Amino acid sequence: MAIDDPKQQRGAYAAFTPIQRKALWIGKIEEVLTLDWTEKERRHLQSVIDILNVYYSIIFTNEPSLEDIDKREVLEYRWIEYARIELSWSDTLLYDLIYTPLAMNVDKEISSISFETLSSARLKSGRENFQYVDCSCGRDSECNKIGGTCRPRNCNDVVRGCGTVFNRITCNGMCGEN
């Protein structure tokens, strides 16, 4: 069953086992590789699968050490900077590729994501606090697609609900319009 709503994805992703998370992301990248890319772009996308296979234990661990977090941040930074500098990929394309497991279409885009989608609550499980909505971002780069910034709000943190495939972080803010 596909979950196409980012609000619901966060909750489902947090409940996944590390093996399920790895399979989800490898499946996404394998689908993306069927689109029209240059050979250089294709190699860079394939490197995501290689990184996930080699660094599986530090990327998908539920309780990373500080050293693991540092390694994840370095992997993420290097991959993104290469994509920006060498491939001239936009923040929007990067978001669609590595910030969300949503499928991409032949135009290399995911379905439209609006300010309302990224700034509203997802469905809650029975054990969550209903006082606030769930947070939807952990840093500004997650709000770039809609032209906003991640702002601290009274919202429930969502562990491993934000960030990139390489470095899932806690959602602790809401996308706000600039």
Share of the chain above pLDDT 90, in %: 29
Given a cut of 70, is residue 5 above it in pLDDT? no
Domain total in the chain: 1
Distances (CA, A) of 139 to 51, 66, 101: 23, 19, 18
Tell me which residue of 25, 100, 27, 22 sits closest to 61, measured CA to CA.
22
* H or E element that contains 79: helix 66-85
Residue identified by tokens 């860079």 is 44
Let me know if residue 142 belongs to a domain.
yes
Q: Under a CB-based contact definition with an 8 Å cutoff, are residues 6 and 95 in contact?
A: no
Let me know if residue 178 belongs to a domain.
no
Let me know if residue 43 belongs to a domain.
yes
Domain of 109 in residue numbering reads as 1-173
Let me know if residue 87 belongs to a domain.
yes
Let me know if residue 155 belongs to a domain.
yes
Let me know if residue 48 belongs to a domain.
yes
Let me know if residue 84 belongs to a domain.
yes
Tens-digit pLDDT profile for residues 34-90: 999 999 999 999 999 999 999 988 888 878 888 988 998 899 999 999 999 999 999
Q: Which long-range contacts (CB under 8 A, 24 or more apart) does 90-98 make?
A: 91/141, 91/144, 91/145, 92/144, 92/145, 94/141, 95/141, 95/142, 95/144, 95/145, 96/145, 97/32, 97/45, 98/48, 98/164, 98/165, 98/166
Given a cut of 90, is residue 106 above it in pLDDT? no
- Cross-strand pairs, 148: 177
Residues 17 and 153: their CA atoms lie apart, in Å, by 29
Let me know if residue 147 belongs to a domain.
yes
- Decide: pTM greater than 0.95: no
Amino acid letter, 151: R
Query: For the chain, how long is the longest CA-to-CA vector?
Result: 50
